[in-house]
Amino acid sequence: MKLVVREASRGPGPLQGALKVLADLKRAGLIKEYALGGGVGAMRYTEPFTTVDLDVFYVPISGDLAAGLPAMYAYLRERGFEPAREYVVIAGIPVQFLAVDALTREAVESATEVDYEGAKTRICSAEHLLAMAARTGRPRDRLRMAMLLEQGKINRLKLAGILKRHGLAVAFAAATGKKA
C-alpha cells in the first residue's frame, strides 16, 4: 500500500481518520505526547511524494514501555484496528508507533502543531527529521534528506546543534556530502 497525502480541498481522507485516532490515544491517557515523522512528516516541508506508512513517535505515559504498548494495542483493537506486522492499520493506513529515544523525544517535545483537514496533529521539525534520517541512513532516508535540504527552509544553526547533541554530524556529512 502506498500513502499519498491529499490536498485539503479534496475533502477528508484516511489520513484525517488516523490523525483523529492518534488524538484519541492522547486524550485517553495512553500516550503523553506524539509527533509525526518519516515521510508524512517530511511532506510538511517538501513537495508531496509517496510513502507506505505513518511514523508516529510517542512519549509513553510511564517509563515502562512494555506496559504501555499492550494497553495502547488493546484500545486500538477495541475500536477495530488490528496490528499487521510492525503496524496497526488505522483508517486503512499502516501506522507504526515508535517509542521515543533521546533524539526523537527532543523532536516530539519541540514539534509544531498543524491542522490537517480539521484534525490537529504535531509534526517534527525539518531539522529533527534530517537528524533522524542521517541516523537511519537508508537510501530512502538519504533521498528525503536531499528533498528537505533543497525544498525545506532549514535553520542551519538549529540543525548543527541537534546533530552535535546527538553525535550525528559525521553521519549527516556522510549522507549528504555537506556539513550542517
Q: What is the CATH number of the domain that holds 11?
A: 3.30.460
51 and 130 co-located in one domain:
no
12 and 95 co-located in one domain:
yes
Task: Name the domain boundary from 124, 141, 165.
Answer: 124
Task: Name the domain boundary from 80, 99, 124.
Answer: 124
120 and 101 co-located in one domain:
yes
Q: Which domain holds residue 150?
A: 125-180
115 and 131 co-located in one domain:
no
22 and 3 co-located in one domain:
yes
Separation between Cα atoms, residue 54 and residue 19, nearest integer Å: 10
100 and 142 co-located in one domain:
no
Q: Which of 125, 120, 107, 105 is nearest to 59 (CA)?
A: 105
140 and 120 co-located in one domain:
no
Tens of each residue's pLDDT in the chain, 180 residues: 444 444 444 456 789 999 999 999 999 999 999 999 999 999 999 999 999 899 999 999 877 666 678 889 999 999 999 898 899 999 999 999 999 999 999 999 999 999 987 889 999 999 999 999 999 999 999 999 999 999 989 999 999 999 999 999 999 999 999 887
Partners of 60 in the β-ladder: 31
pTM, 2 dp: 0.89
